[in-house]
Amino acid sequence: MTVRMTRQRAAVAEALDESPEFRSAQQLHETLRARGDAVGLATVYRTLQALVDGGEVDVLRTGEGESLYRRCVTRAHHHHLVCRSCGRTVEIDGPSVEAWASAMGAAHGFADIEHTVELWGTCADCRAAHGA
Amino acid sequence: MTVRMTRQRAAVAEALDESPEFRSAQQLHETLRARGDAVGLATVYRTLQALVDGGEVDVLRTGEGESLYRRCVTRAHHHHLVCRSCGRTVEIDGPSVEAWASAMGAAHGFADIEHTVELWGTCADCRAAHGA
DNA sequence: GGACTGGTGAGAACGGTTGTCAAGTCGCCG
DNA sequence: CGGCGACTTGACAACCGTTCTCACCAGTCC
Ligand SMILES: [Mn+2]
Ligand SMILES: [Mn+2]
Ligand SMILES: [Zn+2]
Ligand SMILES: [Zn+2]
- What is the per-residue burial (b if ≥16 Cβ within 10 Å, else e) of A55-87? eebbebbeeeeebbbbebeeeeeebbbbbebeb
Q: A18: distance to nearest CA of chain B, Å?
A: 22
Instruction: For chain A, give the mean pLDDT.
Output: 93
Q: What is the rounded average pLDDT of the residues B64-81?
A: 94
Q: What is the rounded average pLDDT of the residues B20-41?
A: 96
Q: What is the pLDDT of residue A84?
A: 83
Q: How far is the CA of B77 from the centre of ligand 2 (A)?
A: 6
Instruction: State the CB neighbour count (10 A cutoff) for residue B68.
Output: 19
Q: What is the rounded average pLDDT of the residues B37-46?
A: 98
Q: Which residues contact A103 (CB under 8 A, 6 or more apart)?
A: none
The answer to whether the pTM exceeds 0.85 is yes
* Through-space separation of residue A5 CA and nucleotide C7 C1' in angstroms: 9
Q: Is the pLDDT of residue B84 over 90?
A: no
Nearest to B57 by CA among B25, B30, B29: B25
Q: Residue B41: which nucleotide is closest by CA–C1'?
A: D10
Of residues A104, A112, A121, nearest to B111 (C-beta): A121
Q: Is the pLDDT of residue A87 over 80?
A: yes
* pLDDT tens digits along A32-79: 999 999 999 999 999 999 999 999 999 999 988 999 999 999 999 999
Of residues B84, B104, B120, nearest to A81 (C-beta): B104
